């Protein structure tokens, strides 16, 4: 039986509230996976916007970010994200895979990407993670643009 695949592009940061809302239509399907008693491992990766990033326009020196702005080519981005999730689910025999990515502005400290997998054994969950992320960065038409924070360090908002 194929695993359950959920992939969604969400406007803005992936806050707990945004995640809950995006996953609401899929909750029953995901709960069914766990109710089978077949799940032996779950693994979740959160991609978070970090403060310091290399600025390739300034000889690669590190500079403070304010936000990352994610641009997606729709609807191709959503289709490629789903196709990638389905292919990784199938390749590693996962019981479920959830992939969510932000579109638009995401501030430092906020989550822009969530990948959660469930499998019968730990090995396939652990191996699926890097396989998915490597291909995400090659195949899914999503681009990020740095929005730099040029305010003095002492005045920056801590998250």
Partner 1 sequence: MRVEVLLFGPAGAAVNSDRVAVEVAECEPGVCTVREALQALQAQHPALRSAIGTIERARLAVNHQYASAETKIRPGDEVALIALVGGG
Q: In this complex, which beta carbon is closest to partner 1, that of residue 57 or of residue 159?
A: 57
Least spacing, CB of residue 39 vs partner 1, in Å: 25
Q: How far apart are CA 76 and CA 80, in angstroms?
A: 6
Residues making contact with partner 1 (CB under 8 A): 47, 70-71, 73, 75-76, 79, 101, 112-113, 133, 136-145
Q: How far apart are CA 17 and CA 66, in angstroms?
A: 22
Q: In this complex, which beta carbon is closest to partner 1, that of residue 69 or of residue 127?
A: 69
Q: How far apart are CA 28 and CA 150, in angstroms?
A: 45
Least spacing, CB of residue 36 vs partner 1, in Å: 30
Q: In this complex, which beta carbon is closest to partner 1, that of residue 39 or of residue 48?
A: 48
Q: Which residue has the tokens 């803005």?
A: 12
Least spacing, CB of residue 11 vs partner 1, in Å: 15
For residue 145, count CB atoms less than 10 angstroms from its CB and return exposed for 0-12, middle for 13-18, buried for 19 or more.
exposed
């Amino acid at each position: 039986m194929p695993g359950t695949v959920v992939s969604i592009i969400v406007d803005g940061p992936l806050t707990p509230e945004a995640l809950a809302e995006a996953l609401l239509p899929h909750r029953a399907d995901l709960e069914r996976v766990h109710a089978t008693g077949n799940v032996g491992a779950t693994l979740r990766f959160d991609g978070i916007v970090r403060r310091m990033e290399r600025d390739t326009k300034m000889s690669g020196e590190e500079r403070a970010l304010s936000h990352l702005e994610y641009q997606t080519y729709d609807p191709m981005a959503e289709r490629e994200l789903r196709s990638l999730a389905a292919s990784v689910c199938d390749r590693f025999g996962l019981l479920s895979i959830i992939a969510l990515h932000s579109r638009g502005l995401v501030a430092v400290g906020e989550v822009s990407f969530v990948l959660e997998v469930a499998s019968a054994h730990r090995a396939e969950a652990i191996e699926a993670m890097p396989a998915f992320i490597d291909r995400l960065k090659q195949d899914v038409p999503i681009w990020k643009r740095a929005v730099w924070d040029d305010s003095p360090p002492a005045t920056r908002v801590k998250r």
